[in-house]
Amino acid sequence: MKKSERNQQILQGLAKLFPNPDCALIHDGPFQLLIATILSAQCTDERVNMVTPPLFAKYPTPEKMAHASLQSLETLVKSTGFYRAKAKSLQSTAQDIVSRHHGQVPNTMHDLIQLRGVGRKTANVVLGNAFGKNVGVVVDTHVGRLSRKFGFTKHKDPIKVEKDLMKLVPQEDWTVISHRMIMHGRTTCKARKPLCGVCKLHHLCPSALV
């Protein structure tokens, strides 16, 4: 089987396994998703989803978060790790949204990555899931790992992995492909012990065939 044909069959298989994937971060609107994604760095989505309800209950808008004390933010996000840096990012980002974007989360890559704590991955999450803009592919540890296992890329650098995926996957699927790969990585192709014996993509995976 040609590599290009195998790649397409893997993508089709993922689509069948996870036809309607959704963002794992619980949110209501662009601001909540942006904040949740900043907090998800070096932290599980499950933990973030535990932290954000009380955080948003106290600071539901950029305006309110912009005026929050660092100590209060640190206390609320402490369990996500790196809480001092994250609290500063939340405060600074909220302040910039208020002062530079009229209280609205910007909807372009250029403007989003100017915010503190926001890189290309976070911007892709917000653009794809909050604004429906397929600007790029979110490459987290699951997506990078599975991309190499499936033979989609040889790279470890997230930017290079993203470029390879953008060439392979139709633009309309750039947002959902990351969700599908993340779900497959969490449920079946686990990092420590892949469940190849029950994997529906086993016969297509070059790593499993070795």
- Backbone angles phi and psi of 175, in degrees to 5: -75, -45
Q: Is residue 15 domain-shared with residue 39, that is, in the same domain? A: no
Structural domains in the chain (count)? 2
Other residues' Cβ atoms within 10 Å of the Cβ of residue 77: 25
Report the catalytic residues: 121, 140
- Backbone angles phi and psi of 39, in degrees to 5: -70, -20
Q: Is residue 68 domain-shared with residue 111, that is, in the same domain? A: yes
Q: Is residue 152 domain-shared with residue 73, that is, in the same domain? A: no
Q: Is residue 120 domain-shared with residue 161, that is, in the same domain? A: no
| Contact partners, residue 103, CB within 8 Å, separation at least 6 | 61, 62, 63, 97
Tell me, what CATH number does 72's domain have? 1.10.340.30
Supply the pLDDT for residue 208.
84
Q: Is residue 91 domain-shared with residue 163, that is, in the same domain? A: no
Q: Is residue 152 domain-shared with residue 78, that is, in the same domain? A: no
Q: Is residue 96 domain-shared with residue 169, that is, in the same domain? A: no
Q: What would the two tokens of residue 197 be?
A: 């014996």
Supply the pLDDT for residue 1.
87
Q: Is residue 166 domain-shared with residue 91, that is, in the same domain? A: no
Domain range for 97: 30-130
pLDDT tens for the 210 residues of the chain, in order: 899 999 999 999 999 999 999 999 999 999 999 999 999 999 999 999 999 999 999 999 999 999 999 999 999 999 999 999 999 999 999 999 999 999 999 999 999 999 999 999 999 999 999 999 999 999 999 999 999 999 999 999 999 999 999 999 999 999 999 999 999 999 999 999 999 999 999 999 999 865
Q: Which of 99, 130, 161 is the last residue of a domain?
A: 130
Q: Which of 114, 130, 146 is the last residue of a domain?
A: 130
Tell me, what CATH number does 17's domain have? 1.10.1670.10
Q: Which of 115, 130, 145 is the last residue of a domain?
A: 130
CA distances from 139 to 67, 71, 103, 176, 199 (A): 32, 32, 28, 12, 22
Supply the pLDDT for residue 209.
61
